[in-house]
Each structure stands twice: as C-alpha cells, then as structure tokens.
Structure 1
Amino acid sequence: MIYVNGLYKGYGKEPVLKNITFHVEKGTIHGLIGRNGSGKTTLIKCLTGIYRPDRGSIQICGGDIYDQPRIKEKVGYVADRNEYFSNYHVDEIIDLYAELYPTFQRDDFNDFNEVMGIDERKFIKQLSKGQKMRLAMILNLSMHPELMILDEPTEGLDVIAKRQVMDFIIKEVEERNMTVLITSHHLNELENFCDSMTMIRDGQIIGGGSIDEMKEAITKLQIVMEKGLPKGFDQWEGILHYSNLGSIYTIVWKGFDEACEKALRAAGASLIEEIPISLEEIFLYENWGNE
C-alpha cells in the first residue's frame, strides 16, 4: 500500500528527511511517531503529494501520488489544523467534497454525522477546533479512501469524541480494508490502536515494526546489585537508561540477550527480572535515554 524508499527532502541546504525507507501493508493501521521537529510533518506532506521529494521514491496505491491525480482521489487526509473556507456553511463544504471525490457518499456522511452532531447550517468559522476536526474526519471517511492519513486526529476532541473517531476508523479498516497512517503524541492510545509503528528522530528512522517487535527489541529489567553497578556500565552497548533505589536498579536495554544476562551476573547481579515496558517508555528512552 505505502512503499517509501530512500526518501530525502530538505529546505534549501537544510536536510529534513534523510534516507527514509519503510512500508505499510494494506488494511493495517500504522503509527508514525517522533518529537516535534523530527520531520513527521514534512514526511506527511510528501506522502500526501503536497511536497515533491528531493530524492527517493514513494509509491501509494500503486503509483506516485505527486504526479498522478487519480492516486490522490484514493487518499483521505486529515491535518492537525483544519481551516476550511471560513465563510462557507458546513453543507457547502459537504457539496464540495461530493463534487471533488467520486467515491463520496452523502448517505454515509449523514450516518456518521448522526453520531458527531455537526450542525450543517453553521458557518465553518462558528465551529470549535474539535468540531472542525470531527467534520474533517467524517468528510474523509465518507470518501471511503483506500488510504487515510491522519495527523494528530484526536487533538481538540473530548474523550467521547476520541472514542467515536477511533471506532469509525476501526470499522472502515475491518469492513473496507482501509489502510491508515496516523501520527499522535498520545502514545498510550496508539499502542492499543496500531498494528505497527515507525519511529523518526532528526529526519531519520530509528526504530519500527509491529508493536510486539518493538517491545521485544527493548527490554526493561529490575535487578539487585548489592555493590552497585560496575564502573563504566553506562558505556555498555545497548544501555538506554538506568536508575536505582538503593540496591534495586531499573535498566532499559536495547538488544538484551543471554550474553548480557551473563555479564550482569558476573558483575554481581543477584536477581534479574524482566518487567513490562510501554510504547511511551520506548519512545522516551530512545529519544532521551539517561539525560
């Protein structure tokens, strides 16, 4: 569905995306995570055909979205800010979508809006941020796109609206095999929503895979070291973070294996126990570590 290979994009002489390569399978939900300024927005704009890459290739729905308008008809895009024509009424925007997108279904929009409750008689400028986001979401869902790209889609939404939006998306994935690419800072939500992830930092991919694969790559340990950690422990390969409360140490280790366990025991560890790690912790330690 999405194939990105060797993607580079910059502004002037300043590189923003550097050798980005990943793919997203059809009918799955894929998360794109990274700190502000990591390159996520630039990547999204390349994927939606707003920006042309400097180098590399992007294949979406079997073609190049930048050069082929027919591909854009298959892609829904909900931005983090949805500033429609402020002096238009909501029903005029609905008519515009119906005219622009052959797959738009007004009956389906009405069904979605029965839940969302957007007043179609209002001007766009009269809507709150959350209402604009809900409108953008159901407009795009009513297109029944093959690919939906969502940039911070739950910003401005209350807890109930978030749940409604997520349920709508999951239903489209299950019933129509829609593919979803989503960015969000709410990693606890993505952990239970996405099938797979790509993590980006400073314009480069630093990790990714299924949620299970990402958790298997990084291990969180609780160990007992009566005499403390050995000198130079922070230089051991794969150590992302460590802290202690007395002789009990918590360690986050990338690539922990049997050899690492033997090294810990040789250094005096009397107890080594693996404990659960969340996606939010993985993101935190990959980007922040022991700083």
Structure 2
Amino acid sequence: MLRMENCRKVYDEQTVLEHCSLELASGSILGLIGINGAGKSTLLHCISGAIPVDEGTITWKEQPVLDHPEVKQKIFLVQDEPVFAQTENARELIEYLSLFYPALESELFYDLLSQLKLNPKQPFSAFSKGMKRQVLMAAGLAAHPELLLIDEVFDGLDPFARRLLQGQLAAQTVEEGMASILTSHRLSDLENFCDEYALLDEKRILHQNSMFQTQQELVKVHLAFDHPIDPTMFQDFEVLKLEIHSRMAQAILRGSHDEVEAKLRKQKPVILEIFDCTLEEVFLAQLEKREELQ
C-alpha cells in the first residue's frame, strides 16, 4: 500500500503541498484531478522519490521511499514532458533503465514498440512528443513496477496507442496487482478507467473516493414545475451545485438515486430526471462549493 502522510513541499518559498495525505492499495488505479498548478506533478515526483518532501512521510508497503533505492525500483514515473538526449534511441533507453529496474522485461518493451510501429533504433530527435510518451509508457509497463505513476496519461496518443497501452496497464493491474496513479486534463480518460479518484486542491487532497461510491452518493437532477421555484425547497438536501431559472432547476445533490427521487417527488414536479454524475461534474461542483464556503 502507498501511504502519504501529512506531506509538505516548498519551492522558492512557495508552498506547493501542505498537510497532503493519500492512500492507495495494490491492484487499484487512482485518477488524480485538480486545476492547473494545483501540484499534481509535484505530488507524483514526491511519491516516486525523485524529489524529497520537506515534511511528512511517504511509504510503499510500509517502507520509506526516499533514500531507499530498493523501494524506488518498485516505482516508475512517466513524466508529462519526457526528456531524452536527441541522439539517444529506445534501445539505449531500455538498456539504461534495466540497470535500475531488475524486473524489466525487454521482450515486452520491444513487443509494445512493434505494435506501436516505433523503430527502437531511430533517434528521439525524429520522434514527436506523443511518440516519446509511447516509448516511456512502454518502458514503464515493461519495468513491471508495483506502483506506476503517469502524468497526463494518454496525452497526445492516437486511438490505437491509447487502447493498446490502456489494455496492457489494465492487464498488469489484474494479473500483478500493480497500483497506478494517473493524471489527465481529459477527465473522461480517468472516469472510464480508474477505480477511484482524489481531488488535489488548496495544496492537499481535499477528497478521495471510489468511482462507484461517488455514483452512489451524488446525483444530478433536472426539474421543472408549473410555478416559479422557491430555493428553500432544497433546504433538506446537501447541495453541491444549484442553478434555478424561473420554473426549471439543475442540481447536484448528495444522496442515493432512490432517496433523492422520493424526496423530490413530494414537491410534485412536472418533470424530474435523475442522472449519474460525470467525474468532470463532480470536480467542478466540489470546487464551486469550496469557493462558496470561503
């Protein structure tokens, strides 16, 4: 299990992470979400041990990550902006990484590159950003880490590469119990692939939950009445978001589908539609709710 407890990170007197805590079990895929500049990349770098935290602890299976190479060998970070020497190629990269990752399977790496139609002998100077990300993701999967960290997962990947690498990641999650933390600006990538999500905001993890539990606890409703809506009709609900336009309303409410429907039916709406919330809707509603409380 990954356990990040009460961590703090400061860059040039600017606090990026503060009282930041996170947990993730083996065999789970977590989507890390947050606005630009929230600290997602910094958090992944801290978890990988690439940069130290100023306060707090980060452990993998109860072993500290920082200053323990044998633990770092079990964690692989795919950065948003892969940095390769222009004259280097994928063959040289995998030979270099094999020095640090004893479980690395070169055969899997070359098989993935073959399916992606990438030449392992071609210099990186001839590769696009998306091609470089494909190489690094293939290397990360071939390393068979216990914890895989991917910043801006699937960014710049074509549909075939996305499907291939998603499939390999899912297979290793099931077969090897690999855990993963993924970030993406395309929340639909995370919603359809992750077991749970965590919201990073105000320098810490504000909320962490399973995707299934979120869908059980939050619902989106569309309402219409034959009279102007009185906002007090929602006073018995925990409201994350509410928009009223005369006789129509849209809301995100906390509660089960059946519970919310039963309470709203008592208000005798002309139209009542209830939907599951998307991850993007949950994300925006939680941020708006936080701003209202400030």
TM-score (norm 2): 0.88
Q: Secondary structure at the match of 1:109?
A: helix
In structure 1, the partner of 2:241 is: 241
Task: Please give the alpha-carbon distance, in whole angstroms, between the structure 2 residues aligned to 1:55 and 1:191.
Answer: 32
Where does 1:88-127 land on structure 2 (aligned, <5 Å)?
88-127=88-127
Distance 1:55 1:130, change over 3 A: same
Where does 1:187-206 land on structure 2 (aligned, <5 Å)?
187-206=187-206
| Contact 1:24–1:30 (8 Å) recurs in 2 | yes
Task: Please give the alpha-carbon distance, in whole angstroms, between the structure 1 residues aligned to 2:205 and 2:52.
Answer: 19
Where does 1:1-291 land on structure 2 (aligned, <5 Å)?
1-230=1-230, 238-244=238-244, 247-254=247-254, 272-288=272-288
Q: CA deviation at 1:235?
A: 8.6
Give the AA of the match of 1:71.
Answer: V
Task: Supply the RMSD in Å over aligned alpha carbons.
Answer: 2.8
Q: CA deviation at 1:287?
A: 2.1
Unaligned stretches of 5+ residues in structure 2: none
Give the AA of the match of 2:184.
Answer: S
Task: Please give the alpha-carbon distance, in whole angstroms, between the structure 2 residues aligned to 1:79 and 1:256.
Answer: 38
Counting matched residue pairs gives: 291
| Contact 1:148–1:179 (8 Å) recurs in 2 | yes
Task: Please give the alpha-carbon distance, in whole angstroms, between the structure 1 residues aligned to 2:256 and 2:101.
Answer: 50
Task: Please give the alpha-carbon distance, in whole angstroms, between the structure 1 residues aligned to 2:206 and 2:61.
Answer: 26
Deviation sequence 1:102-127 (CA, Å, 0-9, x none): 11122222222221221122111111
| Contact 2:88–2:123 (8 Å) recurs in 1 | yes
Q: CA deviation at 1:153?
A: 2.2
Is 207-216 or 237-246 further displaced after alignment?
A: 237-246
Deviation sequence 1:225-267 (CA, Å, 0-9, x none): 4333325789987433223455221111245899988986787
Task: Please give the alpha-carbon distance, in whole angstroms, between the structure 2 residues aligned to 1:39 and 1:287.
Answer: 15
Task: Please give the alpha-carbon distance, in whole angstroms, between the structure 1 residues aligned to 2:92 and 2:54.
Answer: 37
| Contact 2:31–2:194 (8 Å) recurs in 1 | yes
Distance 1:99 1:242, change over 3 A: same
Deviation sequence 1:51-109 (CA, Å, 0-9, x none): 22222211114311112011111111111111112222322212212233211122222
Task: Please give the alpha-carbon distance, in whole angstroms, between the structure 1 residues aligned to 2:285 and 2:74.
Answer: 37
Task: Please give the alpha-carbon distance, in whole angstroms, between the structure 2 residues aligned to 1:258 and 1:116.
Answer: 46
Task: Please give the alpha-carbon distance, in whole angstroms, between the structure 2 residues aligned to 1:259 and 1:31.
Answer: 28
